[in-house]
Amino acid sequence: MKQTIERYEQIKQRIIDAEKRFGREPGSVQLLAVSKTKPVTEIESLYSVGQHAFGENYLQEACEKIEEMAGKGVEWHFIGPLQSNKTKQIAANFSWVHSVDRLKLAQRLSEQRPIELPALNICIQVNLSEEESKSGTTLQALPELAKAIDLLPNVQLRGLMAIPQVSQDMSEQRACFKMLREAKQSLCKMGMELDTLSMGMSGDLEAAIAEGSTIIRVGTALFGAREQRS
Ligand SMILES: *Cc1c(COP(=O)(O)O)cnc(C)c1O
């Protein structure tokens, strides 16, 4: 637990350093703590030192944690693969969904968002490397998908998310993130008001911040390595 808090301080410092180094506004990069597979006690200890946004990938595990932390004001982000039969629970329990890649899913989330809650914040996941196995829409299909999602009533399209192929090379990392930044810019030129680039993880957060990330999603560098999920 103590280790998690030390790592948290280190990540906060890495963010501050990268903001300075790449000329970003101080405080313009938000940290999303990716707590998948980690116990609720870890979430509580980070919450107690000021971390309020947590990302989860697995719906059932997430819902158990959300119930345990109810009433505390945690902001929950769903970042895992989406399926139609899960949208109802996601719409009821989360503030953000980063992994929308089909209109059908966005429509269901909009229809199923409880009316007493504010609009659900949405990012469209883009598959930059266009690997068959990965989730995400293509850059070609993005403008039409974004236009359609932007019209839905109970969701708010906030921006784009991507998980690029792993690379140790910073210029390669930056080249991917730049594509996402430019994709967002061209949607903004079409009249959409997007303010979010969800990009950067433990191994490439500096490159992401250099290219304009507004939310970095950090798991391993905060909580340590994850156990394999069986
Ligand atoms: C697990 C996960 C992360 C965190 O990755 P780390 O490399 O552990 O920081 C970020 N984004 C998504 C979508 C994830 O599934």
Residue 182 has pLDDT above 70, yes or no: yes
Nearest CA to ligand 1 atom 13: 79
Residue 229 has pLDDT above 70, yes or no: no
Residue 230 has pLDDT above 60, yes or no: no
Q: Is the CB of 15 under 6 A from ligand 1?
A: no
Instruction: Read off the pLDDT of each residue in 114-120 and give the average, rounded to a whole number.
Output: 98
Q: Is the CB of 220 under 6 A from ligand 1?
A: yes
Q: What single DSSP character describes residue 5? A: H
Q: According to the model, what pLDDT value does residue 1 have? A: 67
- Ligand 1 pocket mutation, candidates 35, 79, 96, criterion most atoms within 8 A of CB: 79
Average pLDDT, the chain: 96
Q: Is the CB of 205 under 6 A from ligand 1?
A: no
* pLDDT > 70 fraction of the chain, expressed in percent and rounded: 98
Residue 88 CB-density burial (10 A; 0-12 exposed, 13-18 middle, 19+ buried): middle
Q: Look at residue 137 and give its three-state secondary structure.
A: strand
Cα(27) to centroid(ligand 1), Å: 21
Cα(34) to centroid(ligand 1), Å: 6
Instruction: Read off the pLDDT of each residue in 91-117 and give the average, rounded to a whole number.
Output: 98
Q: 130 versus 195: which is more confidently predicted? A: 195
Nearest CA to ligand 1 atom 6: 219
> Considering only 44-48, 132-136, 138-142, 205-209, which range has the smallest mean pLDDT?
132-136
Cα(223) to centroid(ligand 1), Å: 11
Residues with Cβ < 8 Å from 185, sequence gap 6 or more? Answer: none
Tokens of 227: 């156990």
Q: List C-alpha distances in Å: 10 to 3, 33, 44, 50, 222.
A: 11, 13, 18, 14, 9
Q: Is the CB of 33 under 6 A from ligand 1?
A: no
Instruction: Read off the pLDDT of each residue in 94-104 and give the average, rounded to a whole number.
Output: 98
Ligand 1 atom closest to the CA of 223, numbered from 1: 8
Cα(218) to centroid(ligand 1), Å: 6
* CA distance linking residue 115 with residue 99, whole number of Å: 22
Instruction: Read off the pLDDT of each residue in 88-107 and give the average, rounded to a whole number.
Output: 98
Instruction: Read off the pLDDT of each residue in 100-121 and give the average, rounded to a whole number.
Output: 98
Residue 190 has pLDDT above 80, yes or no: yes
pLDDT tens-digit map of 60-93: 999 999 999 999 999 999 999 999 999 999 999 9
Q: Is the CB of 208 under 6 A from ligand 1?
A: no
* CA distance linking residue 79 with residue 103, whole number of Å: 17
Q: According to the model, what pLDDT value does residue 164 have? A: 92
pLDDT band at 131 (very low <50, low <70, confident <90, very high): confident
Cα(38) to centroid(ligand 1), Å: 13
pLDDT band at 130 (very low <50, low <70, confident <90, very high): confident
Nearest CA to ligand 1 atom 7: 202
Ligand 1 atom closest to the CA of 201, numbered from 1: 9
Q: According to the model, what pLDDT value does residue 129 have? A: 83
Residue 144 has pLDDT above 60, yes or no: yes
Q: According to the model, what pLDDT value does residue 54 have? A: 98
Q: What single DSSP character describes residue 191? A: T
> Considering only 19-28, 131-140, 154-163, which range has the smallest mean pLDDT?
131-140
Tokens of 91: 């719409």
* CA distance linking residue 60 with residue 27, whole number of Å: 32
Residues with Cβ < 8 Å from 178, sequence gap 6 or more? Answer: 211
Q: According to the model, what pLDDT value does residue 186 have? A: 98
Q: According to the model, what pLDDT value does residue 2 have? A: 76
